[in-house]
Structure 1
Amino acid sequence: MSDGSGVINLAALGDSDGYLERFKSIPSENIPANTELLLSFSPCLPFSEPEDFVGTDCLDVAACLIVRHRKNNRFVSRYINYGRHEGNEFQYNDSIKTLSVAYPVLSNSHPQTIAHYHCSPNHSIAFSQRFGGDVPLEIRVDSPCACPNACALEDVGPGTIFLIMLCLSATAYFILGSCALRPFRTSSGVQIAPEESLWCMLCYLFTERKEKRPHRRRYSLKEETL
């Protein structure tokens, strides 16, 4: 946060695909009985809904509202862009431990979705029932990951990569040493010598593979003159 209290990792709130909610049925006032509202929302990653339809209004969005009507025993769906990541605004209230993020449809437009991420030991998601027009859809998320530095991303740095390479090299060294070297006892003590059977087998396999390579025959065409 800007006050130095830490970092809130919003990506940790979503699933493996980045969705906080996917096709979530949300309540709303003044909608017909044959209409259902569904919401797909991703706090950090833009998505498109549906994925296989290019002409959709929900293209690279943060929130997509699906209005599904039941007509003649089938559903007709309409996809509405309800906020993007571009141009969103962040506001943190330290007294109530809540981060509010506004997602506008356009970079300079009125936000259509406002998500309130509240630092809490419990996990719950609630939606406002009155929205539309100039009234944005509000989402309240209670989660431990909404607390600063609670669910920070683990970065694989150069030190971790060096340790992994060191462990792999040590493992390969001991495996190769146990297979390719043979200890034996002499009058001066225990000595280690190369295992002849292993090295001879490797040389034999290499030689056998080389001998089995097919030889290409070369043909030359000669013109005969009469």
Structure 2
Amino acid sequence: MAAHTIALAQQKGGAGKTTLAAHLAVALAEAGHGVAAVDTDPQGSLAGWGEVRAAADTRAPVTVHSVAGWRLGPELSRLQRGHDLVVIDSPPHAETDARAVIRAADLMVAPVQPSPLDVRATEPTLSLAADAGTPALVVLNRVPPRARLTDAMTDALGRLDVGLAATRIGSRVALAESLAEGLGVTESQPRGRAAGEVRALAEELFKRFG
């Protein structure tokens, strides 16, 4: 059976898309799935993390690949034959490449920070998924503690008629610190709150594939 493909997409920069892609890839690998991570963003942040990871002491096998979005098709077909899940980091501000990535995915995950501007800026990304016929799920990301605004933004997203993940990812330094070491937060701080949130989201996403 071909691998399931998850695309992390967000046309607005700074939403934490690449960070979430890396942490999810590790958490899914730790759960026993064969996982490939694919960087289609010209900035190459996920690929850079993969290079650091290759030299780190890790236990969760995650293969990291870099490919231009418009060339994704052949590479994705190859990776799907050898893995259970493929996690793709799509480029922001590049609608053509992002569209190709979203079209190839079984699920698009859009991280959104809980602010009015970020929620509004997510609508073009959700439109790309709708045009491609790809199911979309919004994940509230970088959520500050005790933020009254978060509930208001949850209501606003509900009015967009889009799936909203039950799991929220907090604004935690551990997420960035672990990436600098080539790790996922579930490896660097396995008992921390950030690791618990990432594991919960990974499980929530995988359950959507039945």
TM-score of the aligned structures, taking structure 1 as reference length: 0.24
Higher normalized helix content (fraction of residues): 2
Higher normalized strand content (fraction of residues): 1
Structure with higher RCO (Cα < 8 A, 6+ apart)? 2
User: Which has the larger Rg?
Assistant: 1
